[in-house]
Amino acid sequence: MTLGGNAMNRKWLAFGILLIFLGTCIIPSTAQKIEKSFEPTSRGRWLYVGGTGPGNYSRILDAVNDARNGDTIFVYDDSAPYREGIHITKSISLCGEERTTTIILGAVSMNFDDVTICNFTVDSINADSLIGGDSNLTIKQNIVGHIFVGGYDNVTVASNIVSDGMDISSSRVTITGNTISDGSACCYLLGTNNCTISGNNLTDSNYGVLVDINCQHVTIVGNTFSHCSEPLYCWGTLHGDIRRNTFINNPRNTSGIILNACQWTQVVENNFINTSMHCMMASELWGSHNVWDRNYWGHPRLLPKPIYSSNRFILHYLLGYLIYGGAWEPRYPYLVLVPLSLKYDWHPAQKPYDIR
């Protein structure tokens, strides 16, 4: 064999070895079937429900019963809807494949630390859809009816679509990026400390946010309130921060923001847009050390915006009985009561804020 022939054979041999090496790298990666759509967030096992692989469970509750603390249960939408109620008493993550198609027809309740529920449609008739207690609870990216969380510490409710409002009675709560509607209150807080409500769309309800007695350090920022009879009502709140929210298209004869017996609460840089004058008449009753500043009141204002206090209305009725022997209704209450206002927004904004 010639020298040139030997060189050519060596080239072909090297090329063949290279092809074999590339084949061993490529074939396994293309032939392997990926069973889950995202990487695990815990160090525990992964259990699968509703799929076709070996070891898959047919019921979510069976997987929950077999799970250990730290496990993740991934539920495929192939076998949805899952007609079962689920009670979780372990530290697990329960995740659906896709929230619009992974459907649970029954309530989901949690009574343990470190529980995550995500990517489900939970449809429970005549019951709360999601119920929680204990600490470190995360409810995210679900479509649900009503959410009730009581007794938890460190709660995150994020990016859900909630059709019948939520009741929260916990500490260190974050409610963010949700669309909440159709309840007597989109978001009802009772005895909640250190709560942040941010970036939510609150609509079609009696109350947008109702902050009831004994709540402290509540931050309400960057939300949109629309089509709510009483968009924001705070009762007995201490150290509240109501900032850069938009109140738009709310009905007549309501108040956009009511502070009732609140103290050390600031209402700053909020928008009131496309709203009747009645809704823009924010009010304050029996409060102290509250600040209203730099809000946009539907149009540019040269004069300060009076913040009406219900104390004055009570005073007028009392004086009417004492002086006139009966209830006295001033013909032009706006003009008569302005000088008696206890609060003003002294620096009203001249244009709406760009809140995203």
Q: Domain 165-356 class?
A: mainly beta
Task: Look at residue 29 in the predicted model and tell me its pLDDT.
Answer: 33
Cα–Cα distance measured from residue 335 to residue 219, given in angstroms and rounded to the nearest whole number: 34
Task: Look at residue 201 in the predicted model and tell me its pLDDT.
Answer: 98
* Parallel/antiparallel/unpaired status of strands 201-211 and 224-235: parallel
Contacts 24+ apart (CB under 8 A), 218-221: 218/189, 218/192, 219/195, 219/243, 220/245, 221/196, 221/197, 221/245
Cα–Cα distance measured from residue 91 to residue 89, given in angstroms and rounded to the nearest whole number: 7
Q: How far is CA 234 from CA 7, 176, 245, 257, 356, in A?
A: 88, 19, 15, 8, 24
Contact between residue 97 and residue 72 where contact means Cβ atoms under 8 Å apart: no
Per-residue pLDDT of the chain (356 residues; tens, 9 = 90+): 444 555 555 555 555 554 444 454 443 332 223 344 444 455 699 999 998 888 899 999 999 999 999 999 999 999 999 999 999 999 999 999 999 999 999 999 888 889 999 999 998 755 567 676 668 999 999 999 999 988 778 999 999 999 999 999 989 999 999 999 987 899 999 989 999 999 999 999 999 999 998 899 999 999 999 999 889 999 888 999 999 999 999 886 667 888 888 889 999 999 988 765 434 445 555 567 889 999 999 899 989 988 876 554 455 445 555 555 554 444 434 444 444 556 789 999 999 999 87
Instruction: Note the pTM of the prediction, 2 decimals.
Output: 0.80
Task: Look at residue 342 in the predicted model and tell me its pLDDT.
Answer: 64
Task: Look at residue 18 in the predicted model and tell me its pLDDT.
Answer: 47
Instruction: Count Cα neighbours of 90 within 13 Å in the Cβ-side half-sphere.
Output: 17
Give 298's contacts (C-beta < 8 A, 6+ positions apart). 272, 273, 274, 275, 277, 280
Give 125's contacts (C-beta < 8 A, 6+ positions apart). none
- Taking CA 41 as the corner, what is the angle to CA 39 and CA 45, rounded to the nearest 5 degrees? 85
Beta bridge partners of 133: 111
Task: Look at residue 239 in the predicted model and tell me its pLDDT.
Answer: 93
Cα–Cα distance measured from residue 134 to residue 149, given in angstroms and rounded to the nearest whole number: 9
Q: The tokens 């995202």 sit on which residue?
A: 38
Look up residue 251 and give its amino acid.
P
Instruction: Count Cα neighbours of 331 within 13 Å in the Cβ-side half-sphere.
Output: 0
State phi, psi for 60 to the nearest 5 degrees: -65, -40
Task: Look at residue 73 in the predicted model and tell me its pLDDT.
Answer: 98
Task: Give the residue extent of every domain in the chain.
Answer: 36-128, 165-356
Structure tokens at 267: 């209402």
